[in-house]
Amino acid sequence: MEIKKVTDPEFRKYGKIVEKIDFSGLIRALEEKRRFRKLLCMNLP
């Protein structure tokens, strides 16, 4: 088995690498959503 880097040309068909974009807001929103769902599930009968 040969392990390749995601920057290898063979990976181009799967998309591209995104760099220098701040995803912290998105991650924070997803974490809040997960916490909210967890809270809802705890209160179910």
Listed by start position, the domains of the chain span 9-42
pLDDT for 42: 67
Q: Is pLDDT at 45 greater than 70 in this prediction? A: no
| Mean per-residue pLDDT, 6-15 | 89
Whole-angstrom CA distances from 8 to 1, 18, 19, 20 are 15, 14, 16, 19
| Whether pTM exceeds 0.85 | no
Per-residue pLDDT reduced to its tens digit, 20-42:
999 999 989 989 888 877 777 76
| Mean per-residue pLDDT, 3-27 | 89
